Amino acid sequence: GESVGLHLPTLSVQEGDNSIINCAYSNSASDYFIWYKQESGKGPQFIIDIRSNMDKRQGQRVTVLLNKTVKHLSLQIAATQPGDSAVYFCAENYSGNTPLVFGKGTRLSVIA
Amino acid sequence: GAVVSQHPSRVICKSGTSVKIECRSLDFQATTMFWYRQFPKKSLMLMATSNEGSKATYEQGVEKDKFLINHASLTLSTLTVTSAHPEDSSFYICSAIDGKGASEQYFGPGTRLTVT
């Protein structure tokens, strides 16, 4: 089924610390997962993606971990900066060209 | 990366009027575009899938006669909110898939609709 939007949970992190944002996805058949960052009044911005044949993928300051057994996805941000403050959404789909199903989102607040 | 634009970025209209929102892929051809709406502090909810040259596929609960979608070319999809009401006020976001079969969806910057 679809992930339904709820009021956003908030994660507050000290500048320079690492952030971990978690997401539980809904469809065990999903094979493509993406993390997006959304700033206020803007569209989602692609951060990093991972396919179901991997369990970890690293980018610049970001790492995505996938645990298919428990349908869990996480985004790790190293050395969090004030510019990282935003809402983060995980999204999933099957075979790439189907609509994305978005998770409920987490607001990251970086304390300077 | 690929760019998707939306126009207008903000629009205010009166109840009962219609408003058109455009979604354009600027540097690629998009055979498929998606329309989402997002209420404050909520996640993105898919409204419809727009395929070039064919009728849009609407999600359950989305009125196709109220939210008219036209995907007349490989670079343009439009969403028209007809007979708008205050409850239609929302943030509307489109995304597009590169027709070359890439998995990544490129999102537009969104359109803030306020119905008074």
- Report chain B residues whose CB lies below 8 A from the CB of A100: 34, 44, 46, 95, 105
Q: Classify A82 as helix, strand or coil.
A: helix
pLDDT (0 to 100) of residue A7: 62
Of the candidates B45, B101, B103, the beta carbon closest to that of A5 is on: B45
Tens-digit pLDDT profile for residues A22-73: 999 988 989 999 999 999 999 999 999 999 999 999 999 999 999 999 999 9
Residue window 73-102, chain A: list those with CB within 8 Å of chain B. 89, 96-97, 99-102
Mean pLDDT, rounded, of chain B: 92
Residue with more model confidence, A4 or B43: B43
**Closest Cα partner for A39 from A111, A112, A107, A99?**
A107
Q: Across chain B, how many H-helices and E-strands are there?
A: 0, 11
What digits encode the pLDDT tens for the residues A59-112? 999 999 999 999 999 999 999 999 999 999 999 988 766 788 999 999 999 998
CA distances from A63 to A22, A50, B91 (A): 12, 10, 29
Number of C-beta neighbours around residue B53 at 10 A: 9
Please tell me if residue A32 touches chain B, with a CB cutoff of 8 Å.
yes
Q: What are the CA-CA distances from residue B98 to residues B24, B60, B114 (Å)?
A: 12, 26, 30
Mean pLDDT of B8-37: 95
How many other C-beta atoms lie within 10 A of the C-beta of residue A9?
A: 11
As a whole number, mean pLDDT of residues B53-67 equals: 93
